[in-house]
């Protein structure tokens, strides 16, 4: 049987990698993103809602289609890494659940299970790197087991989703410091109401000399004054703000461009730099 896998994901797609593994194990031929290929069955895993109608497929899933999940047999498959021959790391979940109920996020709607898994449920020892797709690693009661498996295998972590500063404590900060990362670690400060716990987390990562990218959500429920305040606090703690506009208005896009230029580093304060930039 010929199987067509389609996706708008720019880097990789774990669901399609598991589907590919399952079909190949059953002797099927699989091709990725060949929409004109005459297949017997086709799957489309769509990341962005604007692309829901991008492909014609027999079955649709992905973040754009809330509630659609892989069957248990397919979900249990190790990913087919041959589907994406250019990636040099393994990827998967050791913990997909997130306790946060952020209204701007799709994760709470996905009803991910509170289930801890070993990295060896998806990791291939041919790789020296691992990418955790976890939505909130530090909310896993067995988070330290994940780190110990990574340390024992001497792996470098490719950080795409980041870590929750609100849950930061001494053991978690020490674990991050001990772990090898490719590039900077990612954190976030989305809500003004989280200021107290965020500042406590920032103090801890500064103590352990962890320098990261901090995602700053703007254009959702904060004012420009609050956006400037959060960014200034992050800079004061020695971190780099990375602006994430919720709505891509002209103002929000200009605010993001302002930070992406790093011209603000020439000024005493973020506000002074922003006033001059405007």
Residue range 197-256, pLDDT digits in tens: 999 999 999 999 999 999 999 999 999 999 999 999 999 999 999 999 998 999 999 999
Of 28-32, 38-42, 111-115, 188-192, least confident by mean pLDDT is 111-115
Q: How far apart are the first and last CA of the chain?
A: 59
Mode of pairing for the β-strands spanning 90-92 and 41-45? unpaired
Residue in the structure block whose two tokens are 């498996």: 149
% the chain with pLDDT above 70: 99
3-state percent breakdown (helix, strand, coil) of the chain, nearest 5: 40, 20, 45
Of 176, 185, 181, 186, nearest to 144 (Cα)? 176
Residue range 25-68, pLDDT digits in tens: 999 999 998 888 888 999 999 988 899 888 888 999 988 887 78
Q: Taking residues 89-110, what's their average pLDDT?
A: 82
Is the pLDDT at 69 greater than 90, yes or no? Answer: no
Tell me how many degrees the CA angle 178-107-200 measures, rounded to the nearest 5: 45
Report in angstroms the alpha-carbon separations of 154 from 85, 178, 246. 22, 11, 37
Domain ranges of the chain: 1-77, 184-278
pTM over 0.75: yes
Q: Taking residues 92-106, what's their average pLDDT?
A: 83
């Amino acid at each position: 049987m010929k199987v067509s896998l389609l996706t708008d994901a720019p880097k990789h797609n774990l669901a399609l990698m598991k589907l590919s593994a399952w079909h190949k194990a059953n002797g099927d031929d699989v091709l990725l993103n060949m929409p004109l290929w005459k297949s017997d069955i086709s799957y489309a895993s769509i990341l962005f809602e604007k692309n829901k109608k991008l492909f014609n497929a027999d079955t649709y899933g992905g973040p754009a289609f809330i509630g659609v999940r892989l069957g248990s047999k397919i979900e249990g498959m190790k990913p087919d890494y041959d589907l994406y021959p250019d990636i040099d790391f393994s990827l998967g979940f050791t913990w997909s659940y997130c306790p946060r109920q952020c209204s701007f996020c799709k994760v709470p709607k996905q009803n991910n299970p509170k289930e801890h898994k070993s990295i060896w449920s998806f990791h291939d020892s041919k790789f020296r790197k691992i990418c955790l797709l976890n939505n909130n690693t530090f909310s896993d009661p067995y988070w330290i087991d994940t780190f110990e498996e990574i340390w024992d295998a001497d792996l470098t972590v490719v950080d795409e989703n980041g870590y929750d500063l609100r849950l930061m404590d001494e053991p978690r900060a020490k674990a991050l410091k001990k772990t090898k990362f490719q590039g900077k670690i990612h954190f976030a400060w989305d809500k003004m109401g989280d200021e107290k716990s965020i500042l406590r987390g920032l103090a801890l990562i500064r103590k352990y000399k962890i320098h990261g990218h901090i995602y700053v959500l703007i254009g959702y429920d904060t004012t420009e004054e609050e956006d400037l305040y959060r960014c200034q606090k992050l800079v004061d703690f020695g971190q780099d703000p990375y602006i994430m506009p919720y709505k891509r208005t002209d103002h929000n896009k200009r605010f993001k461009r302002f930070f992406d230029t790093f011209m603000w580093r020439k000024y005493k304060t973020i506000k002074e730099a922003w006033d001059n930039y405007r």
